Structure 1
């Protein structure tokens, strides 16, 4: 692959990671107007759903035009099912957790999903548990404990509830990562992502209509702008950026670059939201990012030569 294409790939992944890191900031700003996790999640999906439907239909039309095989029903149902776990369930838990914890703690807790992945993979999917994985787990969760204890002292007992909800989201996303690969291989990443996220969006909206009887439209223009930013700038655009970049530089390099995401979230949380950044936050961040980074680097060394 030529140097220019590699540079474009790195830039796309970096930009996608930066946009992903803005999600918690937009949500926290929306909570200042309406303290309702389900509402902002529903409006996020309102803005994101049309894009994923159009992209999915475009991909199907292109396959038909090129004479390529269409996805079988079993694969589509599998993509829908795993999409409900990795996106709908994970998003509901994550957005609910953000009601109780800072954007910094949320991002660090969510960032530990690779640790859940290696242990769940070893327990149920026949993956080998390595010493690097165990070391990464110990270091990462020690760091998360520093931030958790610090926030618990400042914010109170709700921090425990919020942290557990976000960790539940991380578990759901880890399961998604483990199962999704087989369906991506059958359907292709673009079509799989469109189907999985469309299913999650439709389920989210159905959840709101069943639970609330409709979608509240009484919010301010600022709220709708934040919802649109959450759905488009922090969901749709980075999804395609990261996928496009990964196609150029590979999964291992993508994971390495994505390690900057928590740092960006913390920077935005401090500068935009005015959250405190204390010594325990700094130490915890170093340990969490360092632990996950160490695991990612170990995987990078094993996989990078194969990708090249």
Structure 2
């Protein structure tokens, strides 16, 4: 692969990771107007769903035009089910957790999902559990505990609940990562992502209408701008940027560059939300990012992949 393509891949993944890191900031700003996790999640999907549907329809039409086989019915149903776990369930838990914890703690807790991939893979999918994986897990959770204890003293009694919800989201996304690979290989990342996220969006909106009877539209224009930011800037665009970069530089390099995400979230949280950044936050962040980075580096060395 030529140098220009590699540089493009690195830039796409870096830009996508930066955009993903803005999600918690948009949500926290929206909560200042309406303290409602399900509502902002629903409006996020209102803005994101048309794009994912359009991309999925375009991909299917291109397959038909090129004479390529259509995806199997079972594969489509599996993508829908996986999307409900990795996006609908994970997002409900994550958005609700953000009601109770800081944007910094949320991003660090969510960023532990590669460690859950290790343990769930070993328990359910026969993945070998290595010593380096255990070291990475210890370092990562030591860092998370450092930030958790710091926030517990200042964030109120609901910090444990919020942290548990975000960790539940990380577990759901880890399960998604483990089971999605087979269908991404079969269907292609673009079509799989479109189906999975469209299913999650439709289910989220159905959830709102079933439980509340309607989708509240009484908020300000500023609220809708934040919802559009979550849907487009922090969901749609980075999804395609990271997928495009992944195809150029490989999974391991993508994972390493993605380590920038929690650092950017913390910067935005301090600069835009006025959250405190204490020595405990600095140590905890370094440990979490270092633990995940160490695991990724060991994986790269053991497989020889870029």
Q: TM-score if structure 2 supplies the norm length? A: 0.99
In structure 1, how many angstroms separate the alpha carbons of the residues matched to 2:144 and 2:80?
A: 32
Gaps of 5+ in 2: none
Secondary structure (helix, strand or coil) at the match of 1:59 reads helix
Gaps of 5+ in 1: none
Give the number of aligned pairs.
306
Secondary structure (helix, strand or coil) at the match of 1:68 reads coil
Determine whether 1:49 maps to 2:40: no
Secondary structure (helix, strand or coil) at the match of 2:273 reads coil
The alpha carbon displacement at 1:281 in A equals: 0.6
Instruction: State the match for 1:149 in structure 2.
Output: 149
In structure 1, how many angstroms separate the alpha carbons of the residues matched to 2:103 and 2:36?
A: 16
Instruction: State the match for 2:68 in structure 1.
Output: 68
Instruction: State the match for 2:171 in structure 1.
Output: 171
Q: Which runs of 4+ in 1 moved over 6 A?
A: none
Instruction: State the match for 1:104 in structure 2.
Output: 104
Determine whether 1:292 maps to 2:292: yes
The alpha carbon displacement at 1:302 in A equals: 2.7
Determine whether 1:206 maps to 2:198: no
Instruction: State the match for 1:190 in structure 2.
Output: 190
In structure 1, how many angstroms separate the alpha carbons of the residues matched to 2:217 and 2:82?
A: 30
- Root-mean-square deviation over aligned CA pairs: 0.7
In structure 1, how many angstroms separate the alpha carbons of the residues matched to 2:195 and 2:130?
A: 34
Q: How does 1:192-271 map to 2 (within 5 A)?
A: 192-271=192-271
The alpha carbon displacement at 1:183 in A equals: 0.7
In structure 2, how many angstroms separate the alpha carbons of the residues matched to 1:300 and 1:228?
A: 37
Determine whether 1:139 maps to 2:143: no
Query: Do the aligned residues in 1 keep the contact of 2:90 with 2:169 (CA within 8 Å)?
Result: yes
Secondary structure (helix, strand or coil) at the match of 1:35 reads coil
Task: Please give the per-residue CA displacement for 1:197-229, whole angstroms capped at 9, x wherever unaligned.
Answer: 000000000000001101000000000000000
Task: Please give the per-residue CA displacement for 1:59-103, whole angstroms capped at 9, x wherever unaligned.
Answer: 000000000000010000000000000000000000000000000
In structure 2, how many angstroms separate the alpha carbons of the residues matched to 1:34 and 1:302?
A: 48
Q: TM-score if structure 1 supplies the norm length? A: 0.99
The alpha carbon displacement at 1:306 in A equals: 4.1
The alpha carbon displacement at 1:298 in A equals: 0.8
Query: Do the aligned residues in 1 keep the contact of 2:45 with 2:205 (CA within 8 Å)?
Result: yes
Secondary structure (helix, strand or coil) at the match of 1:277 reads coil
In structure 2, how many angstroms separate the alpha carbons of the residues matched to 1:110 and 1:249?
A: 24
Query: Do the aligned residues in 1 keep the contact of 2:250 with 2:305 (CA within 8 Å)?
Result: no
